Amino acid sequence: FTPLTQVVMALCLSTTAQSAQSQDDPEMIWAKVKATNQFQRSVIANSGVVVEHVADDYVTVAGLQTEINQIKKKFDVEVSFPLKKNMLDYPGRDARFHNYDELMAAVKSLAQNNPDIVKVTEIGRSIEGRPIVNIKITEDAARNTQSKPAIIFMGGHHAREHLSVELPLMLAQYIVAKYRNGIQQAENTLANREIHIIPIVNPDGSEYDIQDGNYKYWRKNRRRNANGSYGVDLNRNYSFRWGTGGSSRSGSSDTFMGPKPFSEPETQAIQRFVSQQKNATMLVSFHTFSELILFPWGHSTSRISNQRDFEAHKRIATQMSEWNGYRPMQASQLYVASGITSDWAYGDQNLFAFTFELDPKSRFEGGFYPGASKIDVVFQKNLRPCLYMIGLADNPYKVLQNPSQRFGLRNSNILE
């Protein structure tokens, strides 16, 4: 890892990193497809499109025209149309969202102003050379004893999911502010927990999505693929059951799994970092959209074989859903998807793993670009679930005895 001073120097240098010479991005098509069960949804997802929303009798998807044409051969496509790439201006009405430089400045400020409880380290570089950083929050943060139970939060796997970056950043700022204000429960939490927050996994894709002031509807990183296309879907690039369904072998697809597991420097950074956190018990990955709390498995419709683990995942997700109103479920109940973060975290790293699909519920409420007014709403809805998981990190199985207990966070104004 790199000390903070070197990280800051690297951040300055990274601003000169430019996206590779861009070919015209293929036009993305939105479609509403009739599908009434899990099997049909998985067949649709396996075509390479991105399934955005699931209803009882249909799904909405985004993909290439060739992919939509293949779906039409097997399913009833009720409506389809090209997606506009300039849905909203950014900045402008969305100026409150942090671009990469603004995000790193906020992270730097948090660390410099709170060196006793915040340590920032570079855990890797993106394909274009941008530092990927972790924010460690705990008492005596400079020491690396791994003596306290730890939890890992991360956002920004997918470029256009900008809201998933704001939430982990705000969580870090909130916890630090409560500690600085002398809130006893915050002090107790940092005395007994190690909190890791990786606000953005895919900085190149995120910057590309907004680089000319208009959204590009971009999802992947910025890898130049063998066929001349760009991008690997980082959330299909993890090694556990990689390439077994719900991902594409075509570089042009939005769900391109990459040429091999962990082919991308971004996922390699996550692999290295997570595997080194021997005291971690839980991992949470934020995405948008659909208002869901998902847990393994995603690659298979089978349940986790360990009944105790399955029940604990289910109870934790169900409890959190009572606070944020999201729908809790096993990920593959939507459709099968392999090579995803949560399957790897649980199946390979033995961590309790959850994926939050944040607001809004549908494209008709803003989809990936719901506007800056959603930032505070989403943070408030998901603060209690995040604090609940921090409280559970010493022993997630205790939820089996008392699922509604907040485990050290009850009756504390850290929740306010």
Using an 8 Å Cβ cutoff, are 267 and 223 in contact? no
pLDDT digits (tens, 9 = 90+) for 177-222: 999 999 999 999 999 999 999 999 999 999 999 988 788 999 999 9
> What is the separation of C-alpha 336 from the centre of its chain, rounded to a whole number of angstroms?
18
Residues 199 and 111 in one domain: yes
| pLDDT of 4 higher than 50 | no
Residue appearing with tokens 């996206």? 19
Asked whether residue 24 is assigned to any structural domain, the reply reads no
pLDDT of residue 213: 79
The DSSP secondary-structure symbol of 368 reads T
**CA nearest neighbour of 376 among 359, 389, 362:** 359
Amino acid present at 289: F
The DSSP code sequence of 333-351 is: GT----S-HHHHHHHTT--
**CA nearest neighbour of 251 among 222, 266, 221, 231:** 231
Residues 55 and 94 in one domain: no
Q: Burial code of 239-278, b = ≥16 C-beta within 10 A, e = fewer?
A: bbbbbebbbbebbbbbbbbbeebbebbbbbbbbebbeebe
Residue appearing with tokens 């989403």? 378
pLDDT digits (tens, 9 = 90+) for 316-325: 999 999 999 9
| Tokens found for residue 257 | 């799994």
Residues 335 and 391 in one domain: yes
Using an 8 Å Cβ cutoff, are 216 and 209 in contact? yes
DSSP-derived pairing of the beta strands 292-295 and 280-288 = unpaired
Mean pLDDT of 333-360: 97
| pLDDT of 392 higher than 80 | yes
Residues 252 and 143 in one domain: yes
| pLDDT of 11 higher than 70 | no
| pLDDT of 358 higher than 50 | yes
Mention every residue, 6+ apart, whose C-beta is less than 8 A from residue 350. none
Residue with the larger pLDDT of the pair 385 and 7: 385
Residue appearing with tokens 């948090």? 110
Residues 121 and 166 in one domain: yes
pLDDT band at 83 (very low <50, low <70, confident <90, very high): confident
Mean pLDDT of 275-298: 98
Residues 391 and 257 in one domain: yes
pLDDT digits (tens, 9 = 90+) for 25-49: 678 888 889 999 989 999 999 898 9
Residues 296 and 405 in one domain: yes
| pLDDT of 16 higher than 60 | no
Asked whether residue 23 is assigned to any structural domain, the reply reads no
Residues 138 and 43 in one domain: no
Question: 35 is in which domain, residue-wise?
Answer: 29-82
Residues 246 and 104 in one domain: yes
Asked whether residue 62 is assigned to any structural domain, the reply reads yes
Domain end position, chosen among 61, 82, 103: 82
pLDDT band at 371 (very low <50, low <70, confident <90, very high): very high
Domain end position, chosen among 82, 98, 120: 82
pLDDT of residue 256: 97
Using an 8 Å Cβ cutoff, are 334 and 54 in contact? yes
Asked whether residue 276 is assigned to any structural domain, the reply reads yes
User: Among 12-21, 108-117, 301-310, where is mean pLDDT lowest?
Assistant: 12-21
| Tokens found for residue 22 | 């861009």
pLDDT of residue 403: 60
Domain count for the chain: 2
Q: Is 357 marked active-site?
A: yes
User: Among 210-214, 363-367, 400-404, where is mean pLDDT lowest?
Assistant: 400-404
Of 67, 122, 128, 357, catalytic: 357
Residue with the larger pLDDT of the pair 22 and 144: 144
pLDDT of residue 79: 72
The DSSP code sequence of 177-226 is: HHHHTT-HHHHHHHHH-EEEEE--S-HHHHHHHHTTSB-----S---B-T
| pLDDT of 394 higher than 90 | yes
pLDDT band at 50 (very low <50, low <70, confident <90, very high): confident
Asked whether residue 350 is assigned to any structural domain, the reply reads yes
> Of 4-8, 85-89, 210-214, 252-256, which one has max mean pLDDT?
252-256
Which run of H or E residues covers position 259? none
pLDDT band at 406 (very low <50, low <70, confident <90, very high): low
Q: Give the largest CA-CA distance in the chain.
A: 62
Residues 253 and 115 in one domain: yes
Asked whether residue 273 is assigned to any structural domain, the reply reads yes
Burial grade of 15 (CB within 10 A; 0-12, 13-18, 19 or more): exposed
Residues 197 and 70 in one domain: no
d(CA 343, CA 415): 30
Asked whether residue 294 is assigned to any structural domain, the reply reads yes
pLDDT of residue 332: 95
Indicate which CATH number applies to the domain containing 264.
3.40.630.10
Amino acid present at 349: Q
Indicate which CATH number applies to the domain containing 36.
3.30.70.1150
| Tokens found for residue 151 | 């939890």
pLDDT digits (tens, 9 = 90+) for 289-304: 999 999 999 999 999 9
Using an 8 Å Cβ cutoff, are 281 and 351 in contact? yes
Residues 281 and 338 in one domain: yes
pLDDT band at 2 (very low <50, low <70, confident <90, very high): very low
Task: Share the mean pLDDT of the chain.
Answer: 89
pLDDT band at 88 (very low <50, low <70, confident <90, very high): very low
| Tokens found for residue 242 | 């990689």
Asked whether residue 326 is assigned to any structural domain, the reply reads yes
Residue 297: is the preceding peptide bond cis (ω within 30°)? yes
